[in-house]
Every structure is written in C-alpha cells, then in structure tokens.
Structure 1
C-alpha cells in the first residue's frame, strides 16, 4: 500500500509538470508588475476606483503570483519579504478605498516597486550561484510542504497501532491516495482556470477554507485525546480500547484529517514546482535532484516518527500526540487565515513596532488577524486544561 502511494504520487507528478511554460526572466515579471500598477494608478486618478482595484489584483494574482515571482521570493529570498510585499499590495487597495490623495498612493506604489526590485536582485544573486540555486528551493519546498502531512500521517498511524485499531490503517492509506489524486486534479483545474480567467484569489480562498477545516479536525481529535489524560478517565478509556475498537465516527475523523493534510500540501507542492520549472532555465536536472533528495528526507522523517513513537509508553504517547496535533492545528489556523487574507476575504493589519517573524511551518505571520486566532486557540486550550484538572480533583474527592 505504501509503495502504491509513492508510485501514484510519482506518476501524477511527472504527468502534470510538463505543462510548464518557458521561463520568464524575473526582471520582465517585475517590469510587468510595474506597468500594471502604473495603469491602476492612472485609473484611480481618472476616478475609476473599481477598475483601479481590479487592476491591482491583476498585478498581484495575474503577474506577481501567477508568473511565479511570489513563490520564488518566498522559497529563495525570504518568507518575510513575500509577506511584506503582499501586505503592500493590500495597503494600496485599502488606500484607494479610503480615498487617499494621488501623491500618497504614488509614494506607496514606489515602495512596492522598490521592494520587488530588491527581491529580484536577490534572486539574480542566487541564480549566479549555479545549479545549486535550483536544487535548494526544490528540496526545501518538498521538505517544508511535506513534513506537515508526514507528521500528521505518522501520528495517526502510530495512534491506531498503539490503541489496537490497526484494521483502520487501510482507511488512512486510502484517504491519502484519494488526497494525492484530488490535489493533482485541483492543481490542474486551477492552472486551467488561471490561464483562462485568472483564478488566483479563488485558489487562495479554497486553500484557506481547506486548511481551516483541517485545523478544526485536528483540534477535535486533540481535545478528545486530551480528555483521556486524567487517571480515572484514562483507566476507563484503556479498558474500553482493549476490548473494543474505535467508533466509526472517530475512524472517519482520523481518515478525514489524513485526507486534508495530504490534499493541502500536495496541491501546493505541484504549484510550487511548476513555478520552479517555469524559471529553471538550464537547471532542470538540479530541480529533479532536489525533488528526489526531498523524498528521501521525508521518508527518513516518516520512519523516525512512526517507528520511534511505537516505543513510547501508551499514556505519554497519547498525551504527546494530543499536544502535537494541537500545535499543528495552531499552525493550520494561522496559515488558513493567511490564505484568506491573500484572497481578500479577511483584512490584513500588519503588527508594527514588534519584531514578529514570518514562519510558514508554524503558520506565524506578523498580522493581528492571524495572531488573534492563534492566541484565542491557545487561551481556549489553557482554559480546557485548567477545567479538566479542576474536574479531575473534584472527582478524586468524591471517591
């Protein structure tokens, strides 16, 4: 089954990537962004607010993102640079909505153009390093996007084995296969839509919703596991698990969590790699080397996590898994809100004056909206832990 998943992933991956087009030079992409933004400002000066905002979206989704510059900056230069540039696009649209004067708007656009040009210079510096400049993004993209799915799958598989429910493993593997197929189909459809209609915002919205649903599922499973950590509840739970299997509802929830984890990361990997191939020039072989190295690294991580966790005593394992799934849920929540911000559904307010880093893997971004959701979940978790401890002490007093 596991070999089948790897083979299916490889076949689909090879079949979809040849659609990559000839690579545009980053200076050309930056120039196209600048021309499109110039047209947007001209529309604004002429009183066409809606046309101006639409053209700003065209510059971001139709050029900066579609032509791969955003992904190249995010993976090769710095995540923070890509996020700040994204915020500057959003800020310009916000200024338009607020009726900012033309001079202020042109100044904001000059800042945007300067940011993009600086990042393009950095990309050129990486390109001058030779083939390794193509290897490392290919390796790190797969490692970064795949590690979350690998960790979720490993935790679920180890959980089922530790609790005597190995019969549900096929459901997890089948969900993973379905997710791989769905992720490639989604990436292919969105490529078609992007070429025909420019569907960048819709893609971000769909990804955001998917990630938030995954976060909700992980939170549910995490809190359910955490509820079994006090002594009496744990003893009752263990006795039940020895004699019986998971309910069909919980089994489906775990399978659904596996599906969402693989689905989200799979679609993003395909889109990222298409951008890499589009800008590869003569370094295609190094991209494939990076891809293969990433596969090996993920396989090692999967083996270490899966077989290492099987040696952990049962109760600490479930407590640790509960915490781990909660951390992933926090990460997914931040990433989901971030995707909705890119899609224009959620506002974007940059935290200024406090050096908050941008960490994609943890879903941490320097905006009030993403941080507020994560802080809320942390407070809810702390309250839940406190309540359960209080409940456990009260129960012990009655015995």
Structure 2
C-alpha cells in the first residue's frame, strides 16, 4: 500500500511541475542583472543621501525580488555550483552590513560594483550557447534531485531499517505516509509562495530556516534516544518493556516527524528549482524529465542500500551508526537554518575572521550559525556522559549477584 501511495505522489509531483510555466522562452539573465544593478545603484544614491535604512531595503528588494524570485540564484546553483551561489548571497549581505556600519560611500560603491560584475559574468555564461547542451539539462536535473533528496533518503532509510530491526514493521507505513504528506506539503507550499500569495523571498527563507531548525531539534532528539539503545542489554530491556516490540506513541510521533521534516525541508525549494530549470530548458524539457527519473532511481538505490544493507550490521554498530548519521544531519541543519534566517534579515551575521565556509558540514563563518552547533556539541557530550554513568551504575548493581 505504501508503495502505491509513494507512486501516486511522485506522479502528482511530476504533473504539478509540468503545470508550471514550462512553455516560456528561456529567461535573459542579462536583463535580470540589469534590473538588479539598477536597484543597487538606486540604493547607493539613497545611501549617499544619508538614508541607510531605506538603502538596505532596496538591497533586499534586489536580492529577494530579482536574484531569488526571477530564478537567477537557482540557475547559478544548478548550472554552476552551490559555492558560487553562496558567495553571491554573502556579497548582498555584506553590502547591507556596510551600510549598517555607516562606512564611506566609495567602499559601498566598490562592493556593489564587485557584485554586479560577478552577476554579469554568471549571466553571460547562463545566456551563452553552451547552455543549450542537452546533456547539461539532464545532468542539472539529475543532480538537483539527488543533492536535495540525498539527506532525506538517508534519514528515511535509517528510520525504516531501525523499525525492521526492532520488530516494529507495522510502524513503517507511518514513515511512508509522513514522507508522502511532506511531498504534498512541499508542492502546496511552492504554489502558495510562487503563485497565490506572491510572498517575498524573505518569507521563503524564514520558512526554510525555521523548518531546518525544527528538523535539527527532532533529529538530535531521535539520535540521542538511539544512542541509549546501543548497548545490547539496554536494547533487550527496551524490547521486554514493549509488548511485541511496539513503540510508544511519543516515539512513533518523533520518528514520523523526523521523516516529514526531512522531506519537507527542501521539498518546496526543489519544486522551484525545477520550475527555473524547465523555464530555461527551451526544447530540451524531455531531458530534464529524464534527469528527474534518473534521480528518482538513484535515490531509490540509496534508500534500498541503507534499508537492507543496514539489517546485516550487528545491533550496537547499527544503533551507533544511525545515531551518528542523524546527529550529523542535525548539526548541518542547525547551521543551514540560521544561515537562511540571516538571508531573510531576521538574524544577525557577526563574522568569524579566518574561518572558511564548509558547506557539507553546515559551517559558515559567523558566530550566529556556529552558536546552535556549539550547543548541539555540548548537548551530545552531556548526553553521552549521562548515559555512560547510567550504564556503569547498572553494571555495578548487577555485580553482587554475579559473584558468589
């Protein structure tokens, strides 16, 4: 039954993606950059006149209203690299920071000139004839889906394997239904953001940041809970406490929430990525869908590898490995979540000199993104210490009966 539900959801996903404005001609990115530069120059003039707050608002308009909303950021991310897109995001934020610090006008002007120069370089590459290479449309589509879905599939595979290993197979449909509901929620969110409410990019970033932070909390809680079951004796006691291996309602809810948030976290953004990709695929939309299908197969292979491969792993390594995986993803989500809130302008950005950005770890050179990660490290260390003490106490309590 769960497979049928997932298949229906995937078909619905494809239909709604196809429903997006795929018949449009490819966007002229040079014209988008013209609009961005015009607003940034207007912002510079406003700053020169002494109104820093209004000037910062105009920078936000250039970023959210054109760089994000027109799809330039997604095009750069999918066609070039996430590092390039992240660097451009930082350049926008830096201009606002310079204005907030009341630096001299020439310094702000230099930052704007540098940003627009980079944007024009990217626009020239995106508008160039090499972008009509059909293979690029296939690869971009494939990599978007794999990149955005990889973490979610790892989480789903680990949770399902855990349920099988613990004798809770009857809870597996809950995980599949949660993931399917997240796909539907992602589609609805994308439609609401893009077509109905026409919300600003800031609202999208706030939603994304809040979702990732919530996911980080849930994943950390599940990770901590699994560490406590790593010892064979602890697991045996746990099984004995649960009639026929059933989970408590609270535990099942936490696992379902983890599955939902893992998929929903990037779902709406993935829909928007594909909209931008299809709008610029010209006559190669079929290869975009071929890349989408290949991405689905790749994610299915990853899921099956985690799902069935992990069942052959002994109990203790399985729980420790799964816990570490979920903790790693919680750590990454914490940094990425705060970064999204920084882009929305609702969180500060205090730079950490000399610290490089490490995208795959969710580490960014600001104190605000590092703070929740420090908290997670401290909480993990404290949890391990407490669990070790409990394990030692349990062993000492059995010592007298073990010796005559």
Taking the aligned partners of 2:87 and 2:349, their CA distance within structure 1 comes to 11
Paired position in structure 2 for 1:375: 374
Q: Give the SS at the match of 2:359.
A: coil
CA contact (8 A) 1:49 1:96 kept: yes
Paired position in structure 2 for 1:9: 10
Taking the aligned partners of 1:134 and 1:363, their CA distance within structure 2 comes to 27
Paired position in structure 1 for 2:101: 98
Paired position in structure 1 for 2:45: 42
The alignment of Structure 1 onto Structure 2 pairs a total of residues equal to 395
TM-score norm. by structure 1 comes to 0.92
Taking the aligned partners of 2:200 and 2:60, their CA distance within structure 1 comes to 11
Taking the aligned partners of 1:111 and 1:194, their CA distance within structure 2 comes to 33
Paired position in structure 2 for 1:123: 126
Q: From the superposition, tell whether residues 33 and 330 of structure 1 become closer, same or farther in structure 2 (CA, over 3 Å).
A: same
Q: From the superposition, tell whether residues 135 and 46 of structure 1 become closer, same or farther in structure 2 (CA, over 3 Å).
A: same
Deviation at 1:280, TM superposition (A): 2.0
- Which runs of at least 4 in structure 1 moved beyond 6 Å after TM superposition? none
Deviation at 1:129, TM superposition (A): 6.4
Counterpart among 18, 21, 27 of residue 24 in structure 1 = 27
CA contact (8 A) 2:142 2:295 kept: yes
Deviations 1:101-130 (Å, cap 9, x if unpaired)?
A: 221211111121122223334435683461
Deviations 1:204-253 (Å, cap 9, x if unpaired)?
A: 10111111111111111110111223465333224334744111111111
Alignment of 1:230-241 (within 5 A): 230=231, 232-241=233-242
Deviation at 1:193, TM superposition (A): 5.1
TM-score norm. by structure 2 comes to 0.91
Deviation at 1:35, TM superposition (A): 1.0
Taking the aligned partners of 1:155 and 1:260, their CA distance within structure 2 comes to 15
Deviation at 1:348, TM superposition (A): 2.3
Paired position in structure 2 for 1:147: 150
CA contact (8 A) 2:145 2:295 kept: yes
Unaligned stretches of 5+ residues in structure 1:
none
CA contact (8 A) 2:28 2:127 kept: no
Unaligned stretches of 5+ residues in structure 2:
399-404
Alignment of 1:209-248 (within 5 A): 209-230=210-231, 232-241=233-242, 243-248=244-249
CA contact (8 A) 1:204 1:339 kept: yes
CA contact (8 A) 2:230 2:315 kept: no
Paired position in structure 2 for 1:301: 302
Taking the aligned partners of 2:62 and 2:316, their CA distance within structure 1 comes to 53
Paired position in structure 1 for 2:88: 85
